[in-house]
Structure 1
Amino acid sequence: MTISHDVAGDGPTVVLLHSTVCDRRMWDSQVPVLAEAGYRVVRCDFRGFGDTPVPDRSTSDADDVIALLDALGADRVALVGASGGGRVGLEIAAGRPGRVTELALLCTAWPGRERSAELRAFGEREDALIEAGDIAGATELNVDLWVGPAADEATRDKVRRMQRHAFDVQLAATEEFPPLRTEPDPAAVTARTLLVSGAHDVIDFRETAADLATRIPGARHVELAWAGHLPSLERPDEVNALLLDFLRGA
């Protein structure tokens, strides 16, 4: 199965990998800007998100993305990943370094660290709400944690709709399959790398960006003073400018 995706523009390929709070719609403000700037922009939905159904077996998001790129004839690409999508991007860039030219990780997740007390408490509260059947409450819990103060109400509502859709799709599944993941070695990444964190984000992701900046050769770390966990949604114009400068080698 090819995961759901769309393609816009022509030129070097840039692949946008969504946060697991969202789906590929989170990149609505980036796609036209990157396409107009001369890139072929690919964005996709991981399994169980957006228009891609839940898996019927244990699968790898990284392998799904590589299969999509093979189908599109995209041998070498730039990857832009947000949160959980950043983890997937890092897995690809470390495991298949010859295929990734640039790697931009926005508030990326990382499997190699223990969760903070704040994140553990969030997970316990989310589980309790879902167990009680309060999916609206679990959705709002996610919006409150992950959307930063720079976002307007329309952005909060967009995240709310994407997260609720993910809950509805995933909770309707009759069986759950654990994902197949590898633990990437950051030192194996050869792509030019930008790490972005938000000053209002959970400490886990801020520390992850700082740590990875020391472990990925030549990586640059930028912390945005105004940002929460989803800067590309919170202030898209500023993130678009940052991404274009990075992709152009500035």
Structure 2
Amino acid sequence: MLTHDVAGNGPAVLLLHSTVCDRRMWDPQWPALLDAGYQVIRCDFRGFGETPVPDRPYSEAQDVRDLLDALQIDRVALVGASFGGQVGLEVAARWPDRVGTLALLCAGMPGHLPGPDLRAFGGAEDELLEAGDVEGAVELNLRTWLGPEADDATRNRVREMQRHAFDVQLAATEDVPGLDLGEPDLGKITAPCLAISGRYDLADFRQIAARLPTLLPDARHLELPWAGHLPSLERPAETTALILDFLAETWPA
């Protein structure tokens, strides 16, 4: 099972992290969600934080469903950042009865083909890692994913999480493939969705957020003029207020 934290009572909210980070990225939101009257869960995907790398073919979406089953949570609000948002979309598409609402922060999307900026980033990261320059790859991620509002403490926090993920993943002795479940049909999503994008983010994620209202039956797009790719860390109080307002409307405690 995915390593996770769970606390509080009330409607369940599951926080899904970006792959630049781990479940610690939600430290700023955790107490506010508890104080608002929710049961709050956060988890580490495989190879991040305290969850080991996979030892057999796996699916992040299935991992999330298995975690909900183990916690006996029938229905949940999903709050996902970046790759966590992509996983949230897949969970909501495969098991729409399990997801009550979706708050997506600069989310990826199943089936999205990377544009030139995202391909260039991936190529540069691969080149640095293949050369053994892990520190260089960490700093590349900081430059790419954190917007101008991120302070030094936030940069250090993300630096620590990204370095830990690289150390865990590079130490793995074999590359375990993901399970091929087929591309999910986003048209099956029934949950209301808030798709947040950042003005300073890569074009891929801005385009995904703008496109989701054309694909989902009840979705709205909000662009933050100050944000990069990780708004919940760049301006945590403001982003937390946006999440809480959306949950109060669609998933009230």
Structure 1 partner of 2:84 = 85
SS in 1 for 2:249: coil
Aligned residues of 2:13 and 2:76 also touching (Cα < 8 A): yes
| 1:174-221 deviations in Å (ceiling 9; x for gaps) | 001122254222211100111000010000000011111210112011
Which 10-residue stretch deviates more, 110-119 or 135-144? Answer: 110-119
What is the Cα-based RMSD across aligned positions, in Å?
Answer: 1.0
SS in 1 for 2:49: coil
Which letter does structure 1 place at the counterpart of 2:203? I
Unaligned stretches of 5+ in structure 1? Answer: none
Structure 2 partner of 1:228 = 228
Structure 2 partner of 1:217 = 217
Structure 1 partner of 2:113 = 114
Quote the Cα distance in structure 1 between the aligned partners of 2:45 and 2:96: 21
Structure 2 partner of 1:245 = 245
Q: How does 1:44-193 map to 2 (within 5 A)?
A: 44-180=43-179, 182-193=182-193
So what's the TM-score if we normalise by structure 1? 0.97
Aligned residues of 2:101 and 2:193 also touching (Cα < 8 A): yes
Structure 2 partner of 1:194 = 194
Quote the Cα distance in structure 2 between the aligned partners of 1:128 and 1:217: 41
| 1:114-138 deviations in Å (ceiling 9; x for gaps) | 2121111111111111011000000
| 1:204-250 deviations in Å (ceiling 9; x for gaps) | 00001111121011201100000000000100101111011100117
Which letter does structure 2 place at the counterpart of 1:241? A
Quote the Cα distance in structure 2 between the aligned partners of 1:148 and 1:179: 31
Matched length? 249
1:74 deviates by 0.5
Quote the Cα distance in structure 2 between the aligned partners of 1:226 and 1:155: 16
Which letter does structure 1 place at the counterpart of 2:199? A
1:9 deviates by 1.3
Which letter does structure 2 place at the counterpart of 1:7? V
1:30 deviates by 0.5
| 1:141-191 deviations in Å (ceiling 9; x for gaps) | 001100111110110111111000000000000001122254222211100
Quote the Cα distance in structure 1 between the aligned partners of 2:91 and 2:178: 15
Aligned residues of 2:191 and 2:218 also touching (Cα < 8 A): no
| 1:77-101 deviations in Å (ceiling 9; x for gaps) | 0000110001110000011000110
| 1:36-71 deviations in Å (ceiling 9; x for gaps) | 000000000000000000000110111111111111
Quote the Cα distance in structure 1 between the aligned partners of 2:183 and 2:147: 29
Which letter does structure 1 place at the counterpart of 2:62? D
Which letter does structure 1 place at the counterpart of 2:38? Y
Aligned residues of 1:8 and 1:31 also touching (Cα < 8 A): no
SS in 2 for 1:48: coil
Quote the Cα distance in structure 1 between the aligned partners of 2:113 and 2:27: 32
Q: How does 1:24-43 map to 2 (within 5 A)?
A: 24-43=23-42
Which letter does structure 2 place at the counterpart of 1:232? S
Unaligned stretches of 5+ in structure 2? Answer: none
Identity of aligned residues (%): 65
